[in-house]
């Protein structure tokens, strides 16, 4: 139960902090945060919660990471579906809190300005579905590879949350123009569920590509780069 609560709380914070930066703080005084600020916000949510809750649950906060770590041999099978369920639930709760805050602002429209992920007409720069699927798959694969690498027994102790957060920041700097950056089905589902319409019709892409990429990243690390059996730390 503690593991599940930790995963729900961590995903709640990721959506509220990361998407909240995109929704609430990208305009206004001094031009707002902009893409760099949003990227940092997502990275910082992971850093803070990975340090706070990582020792309890492993600090996944992302169904694609959970499945990738399962493919990489880092999490037991009986935890996979419960983790995914509470991650989605925590993300939805974060999106609901963000909505309640945002609707108090003048001109807010949940259907057009809620940090949703999309392709084609819904992509910030008009990228097509092929580009989005490739970006989400490759970036999630690298994200899982980094997570497995920095939690390997051979990695320096104590630096994993910072490295993971910086990796997520870099991922956002790369792909915010492409699709507002997902690499996390729970994050995408949370905001799309409230925005509805076309955002929900495109949600499949932000489940399929991150999960495929995450699993490939986990399999790659386990097959070619992992420490010998019995020397890996950070197992759930």
The fraction of the chain above a pLDDT of 90, given in percent, is 81
For the residues 206-230, what does the mean pLDDT come to?
88
CA 187/CA 175 separation, integer angstroms: 15
| Residue-averaged pLDDT of the chain | 91
Range name among 8-22, 57-71, 80-94, 105-119 with the lowest pLDDT average: 105-119
Structure tokens at 20: 């909240």
User: Measuring CA to CA, which residue among 194, 172, 184 is closest to residue 93?
Assistant: 194
Of residues 26 and 76, more confidence is placed in 76
pLDDT digits (tens, 9 = 90+) for 148-186: 999 988 888 789 999 999 999 999 999 999 999 999 999
Name the DSSP letter for residue 19. Answer: I
Query: How confident is the model at residue 133, as a pLDDT?
Result: 98
CB 71 within 8 A of CB 218: yes
Report helix angle 77-102 to 185-195, nearest 10: 40
Judged against a pLDDT cut of 60, whether residue 28 lies above it is answered with: no
- 172 contacts: CB under 8 Å, gap ≥ 6: 35, 38, 39, 42, 43, 181
Rounded percentage of the chain residues whose pLDDT exceeds 70: 92
Please report the pLDDT score of residue 229 as a whole number.
Answer: 58
The predicted structure's pLDDT at residue 185: 98
Q: Which of 122, 177, 147 is nearest to 64 (CA)?
A: 147
Distance between CA atoms of 18 and 38, rounded to whole angstroms?
A: 6
Look at residue 153 in the predicted model and tell me its pLDDT. 83
Q: Tell me the whole-structure pTM to 2 decimals.
A: 0.91
> What's the confidence (pLDDT) of residue 145?
96
């Amino acid at each position: 139960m503690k593991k599940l609560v930790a995963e729900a709380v961590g995903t709640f914070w990721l959506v509220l902090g990361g998407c909240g930066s995109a929704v609430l703080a990208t305009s206004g005084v001094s031009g707002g945060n902009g893409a760099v600020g949003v990227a940092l916000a997502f990275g910082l949510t992971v850093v803070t919660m990975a340090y706070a809750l990582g020792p309890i649950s492993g600090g996944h906060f992302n169904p694609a990471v959970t499945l990738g770590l399962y493919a990489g041999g880092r999490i037991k099978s009986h935890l996979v579906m419960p983790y995914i369920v509470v991650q989605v639930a925590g993300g939805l709760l974060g999106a609901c809190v963000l909505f309640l805050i945002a609707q108090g602002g003048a001109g807010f429209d949940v259907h057009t300005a809620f940090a949703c992920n999309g392709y084609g007409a819904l992509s910030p720069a008009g990228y097509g579905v092929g580009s989005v699927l490739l970006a989400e798959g490759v970036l999630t694969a690298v994200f899982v590879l980094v997570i497995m690498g920095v939690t390997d027994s051979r990695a320096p102790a104590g630096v994993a949350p910072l490295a993971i957060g910086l990796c997520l920041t870099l991922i956002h700097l790369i792909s915010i123009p492409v699709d507002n950056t997902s690499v996390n089905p729970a994050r995408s589902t949370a905001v799309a569920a409230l925005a509805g319409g076309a955002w929900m019709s495109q949600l499949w892409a932000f489940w399929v590509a991150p999960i495929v990429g995450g699993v490939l990243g986990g399999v790659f690390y386990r097959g070619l780069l992992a420490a010998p059996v019995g020397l890996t730390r950070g197992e759930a």
